[in-house]
Amino acid sequence: MPLLSFWKKYERDTVSQRILERLEQTPDRLYARVHAGEATHSISYRRLAEGAAPYAAACAKANLAAGDRVVVLKEQGPDLLYAFFGAIFAGAVPTILAPPSPRQDPAHFWRGHREVMERIRAQLLFTTPKLKTELNSFPTGHDIAAVTEEDLPSASKLLIPDTCSQDVAFLQHSSGTTGTKKGVMISHAALLHQVDAYAKRLGVSEEDHIVSWLPLYHDMGLIACCLLPVLTGVPVTMISPFEWTMRPTLLFDLIERTKATLVWQPNFAFQHLINCVRPDDDWDLSSVRAFIDCSERCRPETLDQFASKFGAMGVRKSSLHTCYAMAETVFAVTQSEPGTAPRTETIDTQALIDDGVARPTLDMHATTSSVLSCGKPIEEITVLIMDEEGNRLPDRRIGEICVSGPCLARGYDRQPEKSSQVFREGWYHTRDLGYLSNGELFVTGRIDDLLILNGRNHYAHDLEFSLRDTSGIVPGRVMAFSEYRDDLGSDVLIVLAETRETDAAALKTIKKNIRDTMLDETGLVPASIHLFPLMWLIKSTSGKISREATANKYNSPALEEGLT
Amino acid sequence: MTSTDETFGRVCSVIAAELGCLESDLSATTTAEDVDGWDSLAHARLIMSLEDRLSIRFPGEKLFDLDCIGDLVSLADEALAPNESKHL
């Protein structure tokens, strides 16, 4: 009997069950304070339930079956939270997609989103009146019912849905253009294990307070700053990513006001703050016990600058942390030890390239690279480094980072081939390169042509494909790659393309075409675009563009004059 | 020279310095899409530089609604007006 009751509890340990327990125990405790424009909304567990109930009722009214997909497409605000949790309480599977950016062409935006909705066979779209009108202007064969706040039925009580822990709780969509967007299927069990293990590693308590500007369509925003808070009872204060981008110091205002203790953001955001805080500005940031650098390569020089610039405001080196995370493992794989600054290793670059070994060196004449530790795996997660044949590599040997454990996703929604390429025999093959040393993970690069720009992943071939119809460039003769910029603390996008045009005005028009198309299709703005005459890009014998050789040619000082 | 002409010159000089482009390539109708690297983060740095150089503070809510450099110059002029009257 005890075993059976344990099993029953485990089976029914779901997101909705846990939220209802909190609702019962601490209904008036603050879950989230959301700043949206001029308004501030304080959301208790009771308010969350009241706000989510009409959305759950809308799912029931639409006769959604358990597991049916629901898309949430709203600006950051309380209603986005209510819609997401309402769908979960209805037993449906929500996914939050990015709303259009002000500069994005609506036709491109809807073409991409429509395709995703069709692929996952979404039954319902929770959105705003403005986007509902737009949706109807861009119809496709796939029929989806759009529901706005005004259309919601009245309901105030949440029911426990008939879901079990192995059911899919939500989909986390990756970035990129339509062709490569993947809906990562996260089960209740995987999510709850992640939250429990990650909270334990960080020593999270109800005394903590999280401040976040991160979008909720991104795994770092959704897991660390939306689901971890609601499931652990840690309050979170949120601002919109748009507002933060324009006024990054809003984050510091909120830290000071709320005495926040935990902040997650990608490396570029640390640099953006370094660049945008004036010398005479002052805040008390001493309450923060962990600023966590995550979702793109953590750079030791960025964290050093951050500690140096904001040291007088109470930022300690020991409060700057690193995390290695991805949606395919719900979120965190490893996390540096709270209270201790993560270790930086100086390794011999030549040994890295020639022998695939991370060899620490003190040789002043050697070419070296500094690599920041991402810490040890969280509880029950195993990290191995494997070679191309799948053999386990010893400490300090560079290979593919592979992850196993109870946080692994169920694969990509309705994309079995893509799933089986990376989820194999209980391991998620990350395509990231790195090494282990004394149980700590160090990330050194990528196996394939993935670009990480401002914390979001984009495949180079996908970006190149988006330019396929761009007027003036030779079809198939385009290359997208990234370059690290110290001043931005992040990689930037570079586009190289071949053209038959030579006229200066025509070249200018082609560059504008590339810029416009890239922005519309991907939301990205290239840092630079360079046009070359036919046959400039180097192709391999297989007919594919040789990325390394072309990038080397581009970086060669001798070719400076050839750039247009 | 009108205040707008003068502001236009000062705004373009900051844009050129911040984004590494030529001042001569910029006009009132130039949009962010016309300039390499002018993304939202660059825009925020640009706004901060303009505020420092012109000793003004832009109203946050209007910073998302700018279509071209001409709009930015108008916004800067609006922000400059009360400052300049204070000095009279």
CATH number for the domain including B69? Answer: 1.10.1200.10
Instruction: For chain B, list residues whose CB is within 8 angstroms of any CB belonging to chain A.
Output: 32-34, 36-41, 43-45, 47-48, 52, 60-61, 63-65
Mutate to test the interface with B, among A76, A103, A105 (most CBs of B within 10 A): A103
- pLDDT at position A296, please? 84
Q: What is the mean pLDDT of residues A355-369?
A: 88
Residue A448 has pLDDT above 60, yes or no: yes
- pLDDT at position B87, please? 42
Which chain A residue lies closest to B52 (C-alpha atoms)? A278
The answer to whether A351 and A359 have CB atoms below 8 angstroms apart is yes
B61 contacts in chain A (CB < 8 Å): 37
Residue A518 in tokens: 């890239």
The answer to whether A177 and A463 have CB atoms below 8 angstroms apart is yes
Residue B2 has pLDDT above 70, yes or no: no
Q: How many angstroms separate the CA atoms of B28 and B45, rounded? A: 20
The class (CATH top level) of A451-562 is alpha beta
Residue B30 has pLDDT above 70, yes or no: yes
Task: Name the A residues in 294-333 with CB < 8 Å from any B CB.
Answer: none
pLDDT range class, residue B35, cuts 50, 70, 90 = confident
Q: Is A506 on the interface with B (CB under 8 A)?
A: no
Q: Is A515 on the interface with B (CB under 8 A)?
A: yes
Mutate to test the interface with A, among B22, B29, B39, B58 (most CBs of A within 10 A): B39
Query: How big is chain B, counted in residues?
Result: 88
Which chain B residue lies closest to A491 (C-alpha atoms)? B37
ipTM score assigned to the predicted complex: 0.81
| Number of structural domains found in chain B | 1
Residue A425 in tokens: 């025999």
A526 contacts in chain B (CB < 8 Å): 36-37
Write down the mean pLDDT value for chain B.
85
Does the structural domain A342-446 have CATH classification 3.40.50.12280?
Answer: no
For the four alpha carbons of A56, A59, A65 and A71, in that order, the dihedral sign comes to negative
A511 contacts in chain B (CB < 8 Å): 36
Torsion, Cα A416 A417 A419 A422, to 10 degrees, reads 160
pLDDT range class, residue A545, cuts 50, 70, 90 = confident
Mutate to test the interface with B, among A104, A277, A515, A563 (most CBs of B within 10 A): A515
Residue A65 has pLDDT above 90, yes or no: yes
Domain definitions of chain A by residue range: 13-241, 342-446, 451-562
Closest CA to A324 of A441, A427, A488: A441
Residue B12 has pLDDT above 60, yes or no: yes
Q: How many angstroms separate the CA atoms of A377 and A384, rounded? A: 10
Percent of chain A with pLDDT over 90: 68
- pLDDT at position A109, please? 86
Of B34, B40, B45, nearest to A276 by CB-CB distance is B45
- pLDDT at position A460, please? 86
Task: Name the A residues in 444-463 with CB < 8 Å from any B CB.
Answer: 454
Classified as helix, coil or strand, A551 is helix
The answer to whether A522 and A177 have CB atoms below 8 angstroms apart is yes
Q: How many angstroms separate the CA atoms of A242 and A550, rounded? A: 35
B41 contacts in chain A (CB < 8 Å): 245, 268, 272, 454, 488
Classified as helix, coil or strand, A404 is strand
Place of tokens 């965190």: A332
Q: What is the pLDDT of residues A102-123, one digit of tens each?
A: 777 888 888 888 889 999 999 9
Q: How many angstroms separate the CA atoms of B46 and A315, rounded? A: 26
Write down the mean pLDDT value for chain A.
91
Which chain B residue lies closest to A272 (C-alpha atoms)? B41
| Burial class of residue A175 in the structure, from the number of CB atoms within 10 Å of its CB (0-12 exposed, 13-18 middle, 19+ buried) | buried
The answer to whether A256 and A282 have CB atoms below 8 angstroms apart is no
A276 contacts in chain B (CB < 8 Å): 44-45, 48
Of B37, B44, B64, nearest to A248 by CB-CB distance is B44
Which chain B residue lies closest to A515 (C-alpha atoms)? B33
pTM of this prediction?
0.87
Q: Is A248 on the interface with B (CB under 8 A)?
A: yes
Q: How far is CA A214 from CA A223, A234, A355, A399, A407, in A?
A: 11, 17, 39, 31, 22
First to last CA, chain B: 19
- pLDDT at position A559, please? 60
Across the interface, do A37 and B61 touch by the CB < 8 Å criterion? yes
Q: What is the pLDDT of residues A314-357, one digit of tens each?
A: 999 999 999 999 999 999 999 999 999 999 999 998 888 788 99
- pLDDT at position A155, please? 92
Which chain B residue lies closest to A250 (C-alpha atoms)? B60
Cβ-based contacts under 8 A for chains A and B: 56
- pLDDT at position B86, please? 42
3-state helix/strand/coil string of A154-217 = CCCCCCCCCCCCCCEEEEEECCCCHHHCCEEEEEHHHHHHHHHHHHHHHCCCCCCCEEECCCCC
The answer to whether A169 and A188 have CB atoms below 8 angstroms apart is yes
Of B33, B44, B64, nearest to A519 by CB-CB distance is B33
Q: Which long-range contacts (CB under 8 A, 24 or more apart) does A222-225 make?
A: A222/A96, A222/A172, A223/A191, A223/A194, A223/A195, A223/A330, A223/A331, A224/A198, A224/A264, A224/A292, A224/A294, A224/A331, A224/A332, A225/A264
Structural domain harbouring B74: 3-87
Chain B: give the shortest CA distance to residue A448, in Å: 25
DSSP code at position A562: G
Which chain A residue lies closest to B19 (C-alpha atoms)? A527
Mutate to test the interface with B, among A482, A516, A525, A529 (most CBs of B within 10 A): A525
Q: How remote is the C-alpha of A185 from its chain's centroid?
A: 15
Chain A: give the shortest CA distance to residue B10, in Å: 20
Which chain A residue lies closest to B57 (C-alpha atoms)? A247
- Pinpoint the alpha helices (H) of A337-450: 349-355, 416-422
Q: How far is CA A328 from CA A370, A405, A431, in A?
A: 27, 11, 12
Chain A: give the shortest CA distance to residue B87, in Å: 24
A272 contacts in chain B (CB < 8 Å): 41, 44-45
Residue A124 has pLDDT above 60, yes or no: yes
- pLDDT at position B74, please? 94
pLDDT range class, residue A32, cuts 50, 70, 90 = very high
- pLDDT at position A364, please? 82
Right CATH for A13-241 from 3.40.50.12780, 3.40.640.10, 3.40.462.40, 1.10.3720.10 = 3.40.50.12780
Classified as helix, coil or strand, A297 is coil
Q: What is the pLDDT of residues A68-86, one digit of tens each?
A: 999 999 999 999 999 999 9
Place of tokens 């991160």: A214
